Amino acid sequence: MHADLNNFYASVECLHRPGLRDKPVAVGGDPEQRHGIILAKNYPAKKYGIKTGEALWQAKQKCPDLVILKPDFKLYLRFARLARQIYADYTDQIEPFGLDEAWLDVTGSAGLFGDGQHIADEIRSRFESELGITGSVGVSWNKIFAKLGSDIKKPDATTVITKADYKEIVWPLPVGDLLYVGSATRRKLEGRAVRTIGDLARLDPAYPRYWLGKMGDVLHAFANGWDDSPVTVMGEEALIKSIGNSTTTPRDLENDEDVKMILCVLCESVAMRLREHGLECSVVEIQVRDRDLFSFIRQKKLSRPTNLASEIHRAAMEIFRNNYRWLKPIRSIGVRGSELSPIGDSVQLSIYVDEEKRKKLERLEAAMDNIRRRYGNLSVNRGLLLIDRSLGSINPKDDHVIHPVGYF
C-alpha cells in the first residue's frame, strides 16, 4: 500500500492554528528572503486554483486573502515520525517517499490484521484520531499502482486496485498521473497522441523507448503494472549518491565577493553533512541561476576525496570563476558533493600537500561541528561572513532541509 498524508505541511500548520482551518492557507517561502514558492496548500486555497510550485505572487493574485506561512520542517519531521510509528504497528517493511508519503508491504500481516483494505482503513482512522490530520491510502499488488490509488481519491479515502480491475481504474487516467511522467514528458507523449495511461500501456514498447530512451521502457512497464520492486525494510539505508544544499539569496549577488560568502555558507553545510554520514566527496558541483532564471550546472573532479569545507569552497569558487562572466546578477546558487566514499578509504597522497596542516584542519572542522551541534548552526562562523550579515546569516543546515525522494 501507499499512504499519503493529505496537504501535509498545510494540515499540520492548521492543526496548530485552528483559527486558520476555514481560511485559504499555503505553506511557502519567505517573500522577504525571496523563497517564493508554494510548498503546500489546504483545500480552501485549492478552490482558488492555487498550485504547488507556483510563485507566491501568482498565488496572491488568485487569492488576495491567502495566508502564507513559512515552513517549519522540524514540526513536519515530528509528524512524519509519528506516522511511521503507526505504520510500524502493522509491518517493518516501510519505505518513505518524502516526508508525507510511504510505501508499506503488509502481505505478511494480513493474517493478523485483516486484508489490505481493512489495514488501510484502520491506518486512516488512526491518522485522524492520533495525529489530527487525514490521509489517503492506495492498495494494490505493486508500488506504482498503490501510489496511483492514493492519488485517485482525496482526502481521507482508501482506493483498492487489483489485477482484475486495474484496466478499468488505471488505464482511463491521464498519462500525467503516472509516476515520473512530468510536464515535459507528458507534453512529448500527448504530442504523439498518448493521452491516457492505457494509451501508453497498449503501445509497442519500441515507441516509448525511441521517444524517451530507457525511461520509455520504465514508463511502459509502469503503465502495465509490471513492477516487482520490493518495499525496503525499515532500517535499511538507501545508498547516498550526493549531498548538497542550495539557496535563493536574500538579495541579488553582484560580484565575486558576494558569491564567495554564499558559497562559504553552503560549503560549510555540505561538509558538515558529509562528516555526519562518514563520507567524503571526489566531485564538487555548483548550480547557478541568474536574475532572469537562466541556470547552469558545472562540476570539477578533485585530486583526492574530501569533506573539508575549505577545500570544497576552494573548488566551488574555481568552478564559478571559470564559468560565470557577470552579465547579470545571480538569484540562487547551490553546491553539491558527489562520487562519495567512506572516510578512511585509501588515497594517493601528494608531495605538494602539507598533510600535517590538513590534519589540523580536519580537527578544527570537527571541533566546529561539536560546537554547532550543542549551541546551534550559527554559534560559530568564519570572519568572511561578517562582511554582509544578510548573506552570512543564512542557515542551510537547518532552514533548507533536503529529503531524498526517489523510486529507483
Q: Cα separation of 298 and 285, whole Å?
A: 6
* Contact assessment for residue 407 and residue 179, using Cβ atoms and an 8 Å cutoff: yes
Closest alpha carbon to 355 in 308, 295, 293: 308
| Phi, psi (degrees; rounded to nearest 5) at 404 | -65, 125
Query: How many other β-carbons are positioned within 10 Å of the β-carbon of residue 398?
Result: 13
Q: Cα separation of 104 and 232, whole Å?
A: 9
Where do runs of H (alpha helix) occur along 133-285?
143-152, 166-169, 183-190, 197-201, 206-212, 214-224, 256-276
Catalytic residue among 54, 101, 268, 280: 101
Q: Reduced to 3 states, what is the DSSP secondary structure of residue 341? A: strand
- Residue whose grid cell is 481504474: 169
Q: CB-based burial of residue 22 (10 Å sphere; 0-12 exposed, 13-18 middle, 19+ buried)? A: exposed
- Annotation marks residue 276 as catalytic: no
Active site residue ranges: 101
